[in-house]
Amino acid sequence: MDHLTQKTKQEIRTLSRFIGTRYARWITFALLIPVFFPLYPSSQYIMLVTILLPLLLRAVFQKSSTNIDQEPVLPLIRQKYHYSDAKYRAEKNSTPLLLLFLCIWQVRIMPTDLSPILRIYPGFLMIANIITRLGGTLVFRFYLHYQFTQLHTLDDI
């Protein structure tokens, strides 16, 4: 395999991980909406973490990063999905922290007058996040490969 092919495959893998992680965060946020009021105030804190943690990490990575980006092989696909190294690193590092907060929330939830569904909801969110991230990465890896091989990179830009 030549160098350009390896670099293209690596970039497709990186882009698919970025998109899968981003969709997992959005799904986690959407799944937090039904428990916004029943699990007040902890659900609202987790919603804020879901939104603000990647933004804060992206600001840190943009300030501290030197230009790591080399010449991209797939610049149009990167542009289409709003990819940058700082965004990728922020999404990649915020996911374990979000899962940690969900784990702490699951351990700290009080079993008082909550229904059994609400008591296991943080665990359900962790499982949904992991499955969505892995599934989204896999689906987008095939989709990006299809886009690249069929030259559909200019659609919807």
The confidence score (pLDDT) of residue 75 equals 82
Segments of the chain with pLDDT less than 50:
none
Residue 114's pLDDT is 78
- Separation of alpha carbons 32 and 28, rounded Å: 6
What is the tens place of the pLDDT at every residue in 65-90? 665 556 777 888 888 888 999 999 99
DSSP string covering 59-106, please?
HHHHHH--------S-HHHHHHTT--HHHHHHHHHHHHHHHHHHHHHH
Q: In which residue are the tokens 């990819």 written?
A: 83
Among residues 137, 156, 145, which one has the least CA distance to residue 74?
145
- Chain-centroid distance of CA 109 in Å reads 25
pTM: 0.86
List of residues 6+ apart from 101 with CB closer than 8 A: 46, 49
pLDDT above 70 coverage of the chain, percent? 89
pLDDT, position 69? 53
Q: Domain coordinates of the chain in residue numbers?
A: 18-64+71-149
Give the pLDDT of residue 156: 55
